[in-house]
Structure 1
Amino acid sequence: MPTEISKSTPKIVKRSSTGVMSPLILVLFASAVLLTGVIATAFGHKFGYYRGYQASQNEAKLKGDAQQLTAEDIKKLKLNVESLTKQVNTAKQERDISLNNLGQMRQDIQDLEVKNMQLIQVNDVYAQSLVQQGGLPLQVVGAKMEPLPENAFEYRFDVAMLAKDGLQHRLKPTLTLLDEDSLVEVPLEPSTYDIKGISRIRGRFVMPSGFKPKQAKLNLESNGQKVEQIYNWQLSAPVEKMPMSLSEVPETDQRPVNEGKGNTQASK
């Protein structure tokens, strides 16, 4: 039986596209990864360089500012030291001047105290001499009236007396204001004084509204002696720099009066 040899039919085998593309994909992926790494490295290097540059610039700027501030502070400190040194030197000079003035004032006070004691001694000698001669009769040695704010007036009378016994006695003064038809008695405070030598009568009063005195009469009484002194009330020139209120003239003037033995004047 003849053998039949079958003719094989050739088959076309198609290569899978997946097998062909796999190496290419791998190459592309590797290239992409490599490119990404290169880019990342370059960017990182550039970014790091920029940050480092910025940091170095900031540090240099801070160092420069620190050096500049330090120089300004040193300059200010020097100026402050110079100013304080001048103030200290001025204070020392003022202290030395004050100490010198204080020493001079102390010396002046001591000199015045010595002179005052000497005058007291002389007065005592004169007083004893007058007492031995019968004393000094009661008399007014000075009188003055001065206008004050708020229609007030200040009276100042210096009275002298030495009794025959050389003792201190009570003095009672009375002050009366007179116009053409009436009189006003001025209340004196204090109402009595002690006298042995000189007694200073001081005080103030408010003039009654509408009253215009023509005369002021002072009556004195002490140790059995009586004296009456009348003064014409005359208007002198207006007083300059008159205080605005009595509170600006808190105390009466205790200086001796060397005028007004016969007449006293009062200003407008």
Structure 2
Amino acid sequence: MSNTESNITSQPDNSEKTPFMKTNMPLAVGAAILALSSGLLGYSIGHRQGLTVVGYDADAEQLVDVVQKQKTELATLNKNLNAAIQERDVAVSNSNDLYLAVNKARDEQEHSGNLGILYREVLRQRGGMPLAVQHLAIKPLPENAFEYQLDLVQVSPSKSSVSGSVEIRLIKGTEALAVPLEDKNFNFSESERLTGRWTMPKGFSPDFIEVRLSGSKPVIRRFSWSKGQPVENQSAFLSEIPQTEASVN
């Protein structure tokens, strides 16, 4: 009887343990899945956060480089702007000075022109002034070339024009060379300027230069020859400058 009771007593203990495990198995599996999911989620968030921090550092460094580059370019632009402003101020100042100088020269030219008109009128009233050589200038150039500038003037009481021709001679002792003139004819009422160039023969050094004007009344003027410093920059080809020729008279 006692053995039977012990067997009967032990059977209820096994029947109670088996349903408990079966009943709580889904809960245990869910807890395990939840723990695994939490671990994966934490790793994913941490990994993304790490990538975000690394990307932010790279973007920040690139932004710093861009800002520094822009600062350098801005400093260069400011420097160029200041230089341009200074150049503009200098140009404006020079322009103003040039404007004043031009106006002053124009006023002086107008004043001289008015005085010239007045003097010519006085000369006309006093009988006028015959054809004359007002000025002769000789400019030495490189390679034994020379440039002449001849100013002629006359004042006619009747305000008529005068015409004729010009001859320029280089004289050394009894030898005379004719200077080739680009335009030897003249025709003017008050004044005229004749210019040209020629090449002096090698070894020839004149003592005098003579100007002869042919017209209603011949005019001859002789000037002492003097040589100045040659001009370094000439505005014509020296090979095209005509040579002097011996004068027949």
State if a TM-score over 0.5 links the two structures. yes
Task: Render the CA deviation track for 1:106-154: whole Å, top value 9, x for unaligned.
Answer: 3443343333233222211211110111111333232232211122111
Which consecutive residues of structure 2, in runs of 5 or more, have no partner in the other structure?
1-42, 239-249
Q: Which of 215, 219, 231 is the aligned partner of 1:227?
A: 219
Residue 200 of structure 1 is aligned with which of 168, 193, 197?
A: 193
Q: Residue 184 of structure 2 is aligned with which of 191, 202, 206? A: 191
Secondary structure of the 2:218 match is strand
The residue type paired with residue 227 of structure 1 is V
| Matching of residue 77 in structure 1 with residue 66 in structure 2 | no
Whether the 8 Å CA contact 1:156–1:202 is kept in 2: the answer is yes
Partner of 2:159: 166
Do the aligned partners of 2:208 and 2:223 also contact (CA within 8 Å) in 1?
A: yes
Match of 2:12 in 1: none
Structure 2 CA distance for aligned equivalents of residues 117 and 234 of structure 1: 34
- Note the C-alpha offset of 1:94: 3.3
Go from structure 1 to structure 2 and tell me whether the alpha carbon gap of 1:243 and 1:58 turns closer, same or farther (over 3 Å shift): farther
Distance 1:234 1:94, change over 3 A: closer
Mapped to 1, the partners of 2:96 and 2:226 lie a distance apart of: 48
Comparing both structures, which one devotes a greater share of its residues to helix? Answer: 2
Q: Is the 8 A contact 2:130 2:156 kept in 1?
A: yes
Greater relative contact order (CA < 8 Å, ≥ 6 in sequence): 1
TM-score, normalised relative to structure 1: 0.59
What SS class does the counterpart of residue 196 from structure 2 fall into?
Answer: strand
Query: 2:113: which partner in 1?
Result: 120
Q: Quote the Cα distance in structure 1 between the aligned partners of 2:202 and 2:226.
A: 18
Deviation at 1:161, TM superposition (A): 1.6
- State the one-letter code of the partner of 1:229: R
Task: Note the alpha carbon deviations across 1:177-218, whole angstroms, 9 max, x for none.
Answer: 223353221121211223433332321111234444333211
1:42-77: per-residue Cα shift (whole Å, max 9, x none)?
A: xxxxxxx9xx99x99887666534322321220120
**Aligned counterparts of 2:104 and 2:159: Cα–Cα separation in 1:** 30
TM-score by length of 2: 0.63
Kindly indicate whether residue 125 of structure 2 is the aligned counterpart of residue 152 of structure 1: no
How many residue pairs match? The answer is: 194
The percent of aligned pairs where both chains have the same amino acid is 24
**1:243 aligns to 2:232 (yes or no):** yes
